A and B are shown apart, each in its own frame.
Chain A
Amino acid sequence: MRKPALFAALLLAVAPGLAQAAEPPCLSAGEFASLAGYTMPSIISGTTQRCATALAPGAYLRSSGGELSARYARRKAGEWPGARAAFLKFAASSPETARVFQAMPDESLQKVVDAMVEGMVSQQIPLERCTAIDRIVRLLSPLPPENTAELIAITVGLGAKSGGGKLGKIGVCPA
């Protein structure tokens, strides 16, 4: 598949399966960190798109979001095996959908994951939060990407210990 529209169609086809699936299994902190590391470029670009109209012209994401996303993207290949395993584990709660994903070649599955994450982010971020998010992203930008992914995993993991560690439907197993 080459066109984003086809991936969007595929997502629409499998999304009902995911939506109706049983509660997805939780991920280990390591699996979550891999998924976070792999998806960071999509998260950044989704946030940049979503917030483009809500941010001032000089905002960090508007001026440097693309560069930041590209910096994080350099790690995607290395993170993919762990992210793939985590994603398939997450998707396993819907057996039919999981079978579709498992049968996909890596390149196709990567595009599905990228589009899904970017779409989720760009739809769900409240516009009134964009300025605060922009500030936090700018302040965290000196961190090496692996630290950022770990920070997200730790934060969600800590939330799991207190019973609320989830990012969307993806949760980290209590340690």
Chain B
Amino acid sequence: MNTHLFRIGAALALCASTQAQAAASKTCLSNGEVEGLVGYVLPSVLDKVAGSCAAHVSRKGYMATRLPDLIDTIAAGRDAAWPQARAAFMKFGGANDKEAAAAFAALSDDALRQIVDETFAEKLGMKVPPSACLDVEEVLETLEPLPAGNAVRLVTAVMMMAGRSDKSIPACPR
């Protein structure tokens, strides 16, 4: 990874783990940008949740047998989600570092996606405590009848609503 890429990767990783930085920025994320972000990273997040919970849930349960289908369905929309996700990442990565922002803007889509996949999505892939795996599986299974698009938009709506009442998430005001 060259210096620019390393810098951007570090900026992304830092932003993913330090919400206060986002709060300090004057930029905000629109509903479309958050939806793009969610559509782009949700498959990775769900995949990591399923991986970290694999040993703690039934092999015949929802997470092991049917969640992969949902992940595949949402992942099929990642290319379409990317432009908005990219816009969101640009705001994240460049909010507190003009050099990083400039490097961001100069990157090709492929290079940026690679960095995003390797750093941001990795950071978001929270490790679920074993004791919470059955709860997570129960919630996901309850939501199973929803079309995948609704699931993405639902997560988006919750994040936007949380962002408007909790200023640590930079959701744009309505």
Contact = CB atoms under 8 A, between A and B. Distances in A.
A142 B135 contact: no
Kindly name the residue among B146, B164, B174 whose own CB sees the greatest number of chain A CB atoms within 10 A. Answer: B146
Nearest to B162: A132
Nearest to B155: A139
Contact of B139 (A132, A139, A144, A154): A154
Given A131-B174, A139-B150, A150 B142 contact: yes
Contacts of B160: 132
Given A131-B174, A135-B157, A136-B157, A151 B150 contact: no
Contacts, number: 43
Interface string A122-139: 000000010110011001
A154 B150 contact: no
Interface residues of A, number: 16
Contacts of A139: 146, 150, 153-154, 157
Contacts of B154: 136, 139-140
B147 interface: yes
A8 interface: no
A143 interface: yes
A147 interface: yes
A158 interface: yes
B34 to A, nearest CB: 12
Q: Is chain B's binding surface mostly helix, strand, loop or mixed? A: helix
A148 B161 CA distance: 19
Interface residues of B, number: 17
Interface string B130-174: 000001001100110111001001100110110010000000001
A154 B135 contact: yes
B135 A158 contact: yes
A125 B63 CA distance: 35
Contacts of B135: 154, 158
A132 B147 contact: no
B157 A142 contact: no
Contacts of B158: 136
A136 B12 CA distance: 29
Contacts of B147: 142
Given A131-B174, A136-B158, A158-B135, A151 B146 contact: no
B30 to A, nearest CB: 14
Given A139-B154, A140-B150, 17 more contacts: A132-B157, A132-B160, A136-B154, A136-B161, A139-B146, A139-B150, A139-B153, A140-B154, A142-B146, A143-B142, A144-B145, A147-B143, A147-B145, A150-B142, A151-B143, A158-B135, A158-B139
26 contacts: A131-B174, A132-B164, A136-B157, A136-B158, A136-B161, A139-B146, A139-B150, A139-B154, A139-B157, A140-B146, A142-B145, A142-B147, A142-B150, A143-B142, A143-B143, A143-B145, A144-B145, A147-B145, A150-B142, A151-B139, A151-B142, A151-B143, A154-B135, A154-B139, A158-B135, A158-B139
Interface of B: 135, 138-139, 142-143, 145-147, 150, 153-154, 157-158, 160-161, 164, 174
**Closest 3 pairs between A and B when the two form their complex, measured CB to CB:** A132-B161, A139-B154, A139-B150
